[in-house]
């Protein structure tokens, strides 16, 4: 009689790491553990935290193997590279070692469950070097259970080690955290996940397009387990040809309800061009192909984020990125400023949240994108205020899509008519020049765009006439200013006027009956300036 075939094991279980070398994306943690084991500086409690599927429980089991491995000859000690063939390694891997106890805190939350552990830790390990307790999702323990564990956790017997794993470390009491050596397991980068999946499909005798593996890695969001589950589904979904199954990018997109990158780029292009009819048609085409409205919004957000990073000069190349996509990102980054990109992001983020909770998702998606189209190119509040103040031309929004219409007629920008206005205007871009203008320039005449000044002190940072003309030209949208420097004449400088005003105010105050009486009563009193220059007070 032939042996019965082995039951199928899902990829997430079949390819669970059996050694620290197979644990991807956690190099810093592995190095720290290796150094601690080699130097004999082992903590009595470890806490592994991170998002789902990054290897928290697998790491706990690997630590258990590393601490209890005796080597193929039975003479080995704790090692960062457990042999995997000795009895402790095999028994721990199969989950049957009597001295390695795994407990799911989600189903054992009470103080009675912890009390059993407290009673058992007093007894030495039966056959292993260390008695190890692995508590998964430790944050699910009750408050009383945590309190009962504290004393044992702080001073456990030398033969006991505690290994905790949690996805919500913020729910673990600080008193427990302070008694553990904490390891924050990182999200696994998409590039590493795609490479790992390539090894898996090769071992499974399955062919897969690189773009397909890249899509799966991106959908996994840093979780190896989630990615392997998606890959399992993709292999089952793949078409059988003459040879091995073939996992294609198109099939993965269909399976996950994703829009391909080319379609998202076209959609963003229509959004920026303001073509309402084409935009709504493209959205409905994607919906007919099975793309979820939420996935569509997310794809647009990812694209806007990528354009913003490109604008900031960051290298955003990814394994599945085509030359066309890189070129499109570079073009948008060159054409769009940071302010429009930030508004696009905020509008898409708001639309994403609306679609996620909407009763009518596709309709909400269309309305959100129409709002983005008509609002993304509007000036920000600061720019709008400047346009209203200076009389700059306002853009007329298109009635039904298309590019914005020509500027409406508006009065010419008002030029500064006083010395104070000129100083305030220059201070926005050239504060050092504005300060010299305020303190050391007397106004002889002003007939915008002509101005004549007398300098009381020389400008030591360049050519004053040229620098002031350039600053005024830039501040007044290219108006050609002519600056003349006179040898004599002119009013007082603004600083001199301010000082003269203070002196007059001081003299006026000193002449008031109250102040005269106060000074007469207190001859040594003097009038001092308060924090507010326009106010004065008498004091000693």
Coil vs helix vs strand at 9? coil
Q: What is the CATH number of domain 11-184?
A: 3.40.50.300
Give the C-alpha separation, 90 to 271, whole Å: 58
Q: What is the CATH number of domain 190-256?
A: 1.10.8.60
Given this model, what pLDDT does residue 403 score?
41
Cα–chain center distance at 19: 32
Q: Where in the chain is the domain with CATH 3.40.50.300?
A: 11-184
Q: What is the CATH number of domain 262-375?
A: 1.20.272.10
CA-based torsion, 130, 135, 136, 139: positive or negative? negative
Q: Where in the chain is the domain with CATH 1.10.8.60?
A: 190-256
pTM of the predicted structure, to 2 decimals: 0.57
Q: How would DSSP label each residue in 348-410? A: HHHHHHHHHT-SSHHHHHHHHHHHHHHHTTSPPHHHHHHHHHHTPPPPPPPSSSSSPPPPPP-
Given this model, what pLDDT does residue 376 score?
53
Q: What are 263's two structure tokens?
A: 């379609």
Coil vs helix vs strand at 74? coil
**Residue located via tokens 């090692």:** 79
CATH architecture label of 419-491: 2-Layer Sandwich (3.30)
Mean pLDDT, contiguous 10-residue spans, the chain (540 residues): 63 86 86 87 89 88 90 87 89 89 86 88 88 91 90 88 91 90 88 89 87 85 88 81 74 72 84 85 87 89 89 67 75 82 89 92 92 69 58 45 41 72 83 85 87 86 84 80 86 86 83 78 71 45
Look at the chain and count its residues: 540
Residue 193 makes CB contacts below 8 A (sequence gap 6+) with 24, 216, 217, 220, 222, 224, 227
Q: Where in the chain is the domain with CATH 1.20.272.10?
A: 262-375
């Amino acid at each position: 009689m032939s042996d019965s075939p082995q039951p199928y094991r899902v990829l997430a279980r079949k390819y669970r790491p059996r050694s620290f070398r197979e644990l991807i994306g956690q190099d810093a943690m592995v190095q720290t553990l290796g150094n601690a084991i080699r130097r004999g500086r082992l903590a009595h409690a470890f806490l592994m935290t991170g998002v789902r599927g990054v290897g928290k429980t697998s790491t706990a089991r690997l630590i258990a193997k590393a601490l209890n491995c005796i080597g193929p000859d039975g003479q080995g000690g704790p090692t960062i590279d457990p042999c995997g063939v000795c009895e402790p390694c095999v028994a721990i891997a199969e989950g049957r070692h009597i001295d390695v106890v795994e407990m799911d805190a989600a189903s054992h939350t009470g103080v009675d469950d912890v009390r059993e552990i407290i009673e058992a830790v007093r007894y030495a390990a039966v056959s292993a070097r260390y008695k190890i307790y692995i508590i998964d999702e430790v944050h699910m323990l009750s408050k009383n259970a945590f309190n009962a564990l504290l004393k044992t956790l702080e001073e456990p017997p030398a033969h006991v080690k505690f290994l905790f794993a949690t996805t919500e470390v913020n729910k673990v009491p600080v008193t427990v955290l302070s008694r553990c050596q904490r390891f924050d397991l990182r999200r696994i980068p998409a590039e590493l996940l795609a490479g790992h999946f390539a090894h898996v499909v090769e071992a499974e005798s399955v062919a897969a397009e690189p773009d397909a593996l890249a899509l799966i890695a991106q959908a996994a969001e840093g979780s190896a387990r989630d990615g392997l589950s998606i890959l399992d589904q993709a292999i089952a979904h793949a078409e059988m040809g003459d040879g091995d199954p073939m996992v294609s990018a198109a099939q993965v997109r269909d399976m996950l309800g994703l829009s391909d990158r080319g379609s998202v780029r076209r959609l963003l292009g229509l959004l920026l061009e303001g073509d309402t009819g084409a935009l709504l048609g493209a959205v409905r085409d994607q919906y007919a192909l099975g793309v979820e409205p939420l996935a569509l919004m997310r794809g647009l957000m990812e694209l806007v984020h990528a354009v913003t990073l490109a604008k900031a000069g960051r290298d955003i190349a990814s394994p599945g990125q085509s030359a066309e996509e890189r070129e499109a990102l570079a073009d948008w980054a060159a054409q769009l400023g940071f302010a429009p990109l930030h508004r696009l992001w905020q509008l898409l983020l708001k639309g994403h949240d609306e679609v996620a909770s909407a009763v009518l998702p596709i309709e909400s998606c269309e309305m959100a994108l129409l709002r983005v189209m008509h609002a993304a190119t509007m000036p920000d509040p600061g720019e709008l205020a400047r346009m209203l103040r200076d009389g700059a031309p306002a853009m007329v929004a298109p009635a039904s899509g298309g590019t914005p219409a020509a500027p409406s007629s508006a009065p010419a920008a008002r030029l500064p008519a006083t010395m104070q206005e000129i100083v305030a205007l220059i201070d926005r871009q050239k504060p050092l020049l504005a300060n010299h203008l305020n303190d050391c320039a007397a106004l002889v005449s002003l007939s915008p765009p002509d101005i004549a000044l007398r300098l009381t002190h020389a400008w030591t940072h360049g050519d004053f006439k040229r620098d002031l003309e350039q600053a005024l030209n830039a501040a007044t949208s290219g108006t050609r200013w002519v600056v003349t420097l006179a040898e004599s004449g002119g009013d007082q400088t603004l600083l001199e006027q301010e000082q003269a005003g203070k002196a007059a105010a001081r003299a006026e105050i000193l002449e008031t009956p109250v102040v005269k009486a106060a000074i007469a009563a207190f001859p040594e009193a003097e009038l001092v300036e308060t924090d507010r220059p326009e106010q004065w007070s008498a004091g000693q």
